[in-house]
Amino acid sequence: ANTTSPPALPQLPGFNDTNTAHRFLSNLTALVLPGKPTVPLAVDTRMFVTVGMGVADCQPEQTLCNRSRTMFASSMNNASFVPPRSTSMLEAHYSNLTAGVYTRDFPDQPPILFDYTADASNNATMQYTTKSTKVRTLRYNETVEMVLQNTRLIAKESHPMHLHGFNFFVLAQGFGNYNQTTAAPQFNLVNPQERNTVLVPTGGWAVIRFVADNPG
């Protein structure tokens, strides 16, 4: 091209064009190849996990915490994770010394069912979360289906959710509150995306499925 001619720039959607971004990302599919793992059809464990922001009590070591004695805290199913202070969770597990390190009671469902994406749900009672070190223990090779539901608490945001050490299948994504009846027919069980991170839509949900075959 003539060096004096300005480059022809493409017409791109706006950086805040959520619908266009969602339409592009949710329509990606996998290339199905012989010998390549496919999405498991039988599910052993189903989990519904809310993700979002909230507030929690200031911890003793947080000397600069604000005057209201609360702080912002991310949470899943109203459990805000605190890393172990002295012993790693894997070391505690293999040494059979988990007492005081973590508990195995991370819930498969949120403790309270509510209108997850409604403005009316964004109140002090619903925002409050507790700090803990909870895990969900899975049997080796079991298939897990997890609904990741964004909430309106504090703010509607698009949360990238990563599953360390795994690739998972993204069966479906959408906006608003997840509805099993209307969402299930949309599941891609033929050539779904296979990823290790999914961007849960703003004020929406994503359904992933994976095989628990990588302990630790």
Do 163 and 213 meet the contact criterion of CB atoms below 8 Å apart? no
Domain locations in the chain as residue ranges? 37-212
- 111-119 own/partner pairs: CB under 8 Å, 24+ apart: 111/77, 111/78, 112/78, 115/177, 116/50, 116/149, 116/150, 116/151, 116/152, 116/177, 117/150, 117/151, 117/152, 117/156, 117/175, 117/176, 117/177, 117/203, 117/204, 118/152, 119/152
Res. 34: pLDDT tops 90: no
Res. 48: pLDDT tops 90: yes
For residue 140, give both structure tokens: 């080796």
**Mean pLDDT of the residues in the chain:** 91
More reliable by pLDDT, 105 or 35: 105
Pick the CATH number of 37-212 from 2.60.40.420, 3.20.20.80, 1.10.357.10, 3.40.50.2000: 2.60.40.420
